[in-house]
Amino acid sequence: MDNFTFKSPTQFIFGRGTHAQAGKYAARCGAKKVMVLYGGGSVITNGVLQTVVESLDAAGLDFIVAGGVQPNPVSSYVYQAIEAAREEKVDFMLAVGGGSVIDTAKAVAAGVPYDGDFLDFYRGKGVKEALPVGVVLTIAAAGSEGSPNTVITDEETKIKKGATGECLRPQFAILNPELTFTLSAYQSACGISDMMAHIFERYFTKTKDNAVTDRICEGLLLAITEKAMDVIIDREDYEAQAAIMWAGMLAHNNICGVGREQDWGSHALAHQLSALFDAAHGAALAVVFPAWMKYVVDEDVELFARIAHNVWGVAMSDDKKQMALDGIAAYEKFLRGIGMPTNLAQLDVPEEAIPQLVELAFAPGGSTIGYFKKLTPADVEAVYRLAL
């Protein structure tokens, strides 16, 4: 285990009806003027936005509301929102939505007090100061509600990049599983793929001796796979949605990643599919991750055999390589079972796009991607080809 520091100070408020407490918690954070961000119209039609706004009003808070945040959120929106937030003297960002809305809220939160271009933070500059952020979560997926991370697509370069800073961890996050009842099965499946990927990026490491964290990762994966189909079949299965929602937070607040080198190569490859082909993040990960696993399995056959047994129920055998491959196959089968694509064609990505995808993946700089196996451009091309 490597030395590490860990701090996850977000206040989580979990359960039925809890979104009506948004105003109370924002007020406790000292908010005076709140910018409420949301994405599509679903939070309007299902009344969630109305309830949240009423709670702000009841708490005596002033606020402005801005909708229209897109999936795979873009820089132009952030620029506009920063300007509006400054004009209106906003002192608190409240995201009502999923990862795209939360990541946008974090981008605005970092951008408002910063003199330069907010995209500097997405080019490697650490975020040291930001407006406080609160969350009312409506989709279990990105884990941004408990993480210090945000991902934005730079529209000029089409590059999807992340920024990070401990001050970006939300002050509070309200997790009401009922709010996910109106999602489509496909949206939920994307979320499930995404949170599993967040665990895999941490699980597959060259750092030895991670007994506790390995078991937490495996436990979360077991709970997710146990409840995934319930969520797909019955959108209003509260307990299943609750399990998925809580797992999504734990998958990404880094309790699954302390004390070990993490990979994140598959995310880098998936981001390009979203940037170029507007693939849903979870769907892109469902295509990339099994291919990546097949490509890197020989880096640590024992670890792949372990997860095959502990998570996918593959019987113990002396042939660890076969166990490892059976585990990857079980993961792919699971993804198909919940309705996820597992090859590029299903995302309408043609083979001819691969060179451009590779180029884009390396556009941010650097000669390799990931850590479990450091992928060269030739490796990345091979992974994409395994996903054909």
Q: Contact residues for a copy of itself (CB under 8 A)?
A: 1-18, 208-209, 211-216, 218-220, 222-223, 226-227, 239-240, 242-243, 246-247, 250, 255, 258-259
Q: How far is the CB of 231 from a copy of itself (least distance, A)?
A: 11
Given the DSSP bridges, would you call strands 172-175 and 159-164 parallel, antiparallel or unpaired?
A: unpaired
Task: Let me know: does 325 contact 297? Beta carbons within 8 Å.
Answer: yes
Q: Least Å distance between CB 164 and a copy of itself?
A: 17
- 109 burial class (0-12, 13-18, 19+ CB within 10 angstroms)? buried
256 versus 293: smaller Cβ distance to a copy of itself: 256
- In angstroms, give the least distance from the CB of 225 to a copy of itself: 10
State the minimum distance, in angstroms, from the CB of residue 51 to a copy of itself.
16
Q: Which residues are CB-neighbours of 85 under 8 A, at least 6 positions away?
A: 35, 93, 108, 112, 131
Nearer to a copy of itself (CB atom), residue 28 or residue 158: 28
Complete DSSP assignment for 28-78: HTT-SEEEEEE-STHHHHTSHHHHHHHHHHHTT-EEEEE--PPSS-BHHHH
Rounded Cα distance, 90 and 335, in Å: 42
Q: Which is nearer to a copy of itself, 8 or 70 (CB)?
A: 8
Angle at 302 between CA 298 and CA 303, to 5 degrees: 90
Between residues 20 and 353, which has the closer beta carbon with respect to a copy of itself?
A: 20
Q: Which residue has the tokens 């997790």?
A: 175
Residue 1 or 58 having the CB closest to a copy of itself: 1
Residue 134: CB minimum distance to a copy of itself, A: 13
Query: Which residues have a Cβ under 8 Å from the Cβ of 47 and sit 6 or more positions away?
Result: none
Which DSSP state fits 348? T
User: For residues 220 and 285, which CB has a smaller minimum distance to a copy of itself in the complex?
Assistant: 220
Which residues are CB-neighbours of 17 under 8 A, at least 6 positions away?
Answer: 176, 178
| Smallest separation (angstroms) from a copy of itself to the CB of 93 | 19
CB of 209 to a copy of itself, least distance (A): 4
What tokens appear for 157 in the block?
């370069």
Q: How far is the CB of 185 from a copy of itself (least distance, A)?
A: 19
Write the single-letter amino acid at 84: A
Non-local CB neighbours of 88 within 8 Å, separated by 6+ positions:
33, 35, 64
CB nearer a copy of itself, residue 28 or residue 33: 28
Looking up tokens 């750092």 gives 207
Q: Which is nearer to a copy of itself, 220 or 349 (CB)?
A: 220
Nearest approach, Cβ of 244 to a copy of itself (angstroms)?
Answer: 9
In whole angstroms, what is the distance from residue 22 CA to residue 293 CA? Answer: 41
Identify which of residues 11 and 184 has a Cβ nearer to a copy of itself in the complex. Answer: 11
Q: In this structure, are residues 271 and 151 in contact, taking their beta carbons and an 8 Å threshold?
A: yes
